[in-house]
A and B are shown apart, each in its own frame.
Chain A
Amino acid sequence: MNSFITTLSSTLFFGVAISLVCYGIGAYIGKKIKFPLANPLLIAAILLIVILKVLDIKYATYMVGAQYISYLLTPATVCLAVPLYEKLQLLRDNLVAVVVGILTGIIISAVTVWGTCVIFTLDEGIFATMLPKSITTAIGMAVSEETGGVVNITVAMIAITGITGNVIADIVLKLFRVKEPVAKGIAIGTSAHVMGTSKAIELGEIEGAMSGLAVAVAGLITVLIAPVLVGMY
């Protein structure tokens, strides 16, 4: 049995196949249970971690095949430009609101990280590690490295933030009574980067387009201001 699992998990298609099956199960449960926490991505990830732990398969072994899923992430991010282009007039009409909204989000993100670090008396290194948690992984890694953070923990926190944003978007937007689609998209993209954007796309075309825009803009602004903020801490 053990050697069978070793053989199975070492094949190139194991990682992709088991990911798709788990996502399929997640999507099925998500459809059956109309509850925001029944999020397909969350269910799939938990299911996969449990399966890998139980069968004693290493993450690196899973990634032999699963890396080809991640491979598509760059082309998919490039494609965010298409819905954005189709909503360009809407962006022009709401430019001030969009820019001020994204800046507000970046400030609130920095303030919550700063507050948490002060309360728990965490050092500058942890502050630098946590600061880029709301921006997209590739930018966040670079920012963390440049400002003296621990890159691996930053990556983990970006993933936790993204999945959190993906799961809680419905609840939070309802709680804060945000109804306007542009505002919804900007809120999701600024707080939960591309992982949140995949949820925004499900909410609607405008939400998806604006969320994708917010990811790019928030990421680029954070690159500029993170060194200043870490210097101030």
Chain B
Amino acid sequence: MKYLKQFGIIIVISLMGELLNELLPFSVPGSIYGLLLMLLALVTGVVKVSQVKETSSFLLDIMPILFIPSTVGLMDYFGVLSEILVPVLLVCIVGTALVMGITGVVTERIILARSSNSMGFVNNDNNSEEQDFLEERGGGNE
């Protein structure tokens, strides 16, 4: 019964997401509306984490498998893609690497800058891990 209930909650929220996608004029997919609805339900306490935990862990666990069909779908586009192969690969491989790398560096820099600012005032156990991490980045002068 537990899994049935959990899956039921997830499916109902998916359904509500799809409905919003149909009813609202924005180009936002039902799955993203659903994600936001689930977050809202958890924050407001309408749904408790324990009511969806196991089933959601399972679905997140098998997520890579869910992308197999769409990836295999590339086989029907080999012809079209080969005409603009070089720019496509450039954008998809080099572009993705740059976006990932630069996004990561920028995000990390801001996190570190802010945590080192607050460290002057509080220096408790929570921060010691970050401090080790900072020293490590600063060239490891231990």
A residues apposed to B, CB below 8 Å: 15, 19-20, 22-23, 40-41, 44-45, 48-49, 52-53, 59, 62-63, 66-67, 69-70, 72-86, 88, 94, 96-98, 100-102, 104-105, 108-109, 112-113, 116-117, 119-120, 122, 126, 130, 133-134, 136-139, 142-143, 146, 152-153, 155-157, 159-166, 168-169, 172-173, 175-180, 182-184, 186-188, 190-192, 194-199, 201, 208, 212, 216, 219-220, 223
Contacts and interface: CB of A to CB of B under 8 A. Distances in A.
Nearest to B65: A23
B38 A157 contact: no
B92 A160 contact: yes
B19 interface: no
Contacts of B76: 59
B72 A49 contact: yes
B65 A19 contact: yes
B128 interface: no
Contacts of B67: 41, 73, 159, 162-163, 194-195, 198
A52 B74 CA distance: 12
B43 A223 contact: no
A44 B30 CA distance: 28
Contacts, number: 319
Contacts of A153: 77, 80-81
B103 A186 contact: yes
B111 A76 contact: no
A117 B73 CA distance: 25
B68 A41 contact: yes
A225 B63 CA distance: 29
Nearest to A134: B99
Interface of B: 7, 10-11, 13-14, 17-18, 26-32, 34-39, 42-43, 49, 52-53, 55-57, 59-77, 80-81, 84, 86-108, 110-112, 114, 133, 137
B99 A112 contact: yes
Contacts of B14: 74-75, 78
A208 B64 CA distance: 13
Given A120-B87, A162-B67, A166-B64, 20 more contacts: A41-B67, A59-B72, A59-B75, A74-B34, A75-B10, A77-B35, A79-B52, A80-B35, A88-B43, A96-B114, A102-B103, A105-B100, A130-B87, A136-B31, A164-B92, A165-B96, A178-B105, A180-B107, A184-B104, A223-B28
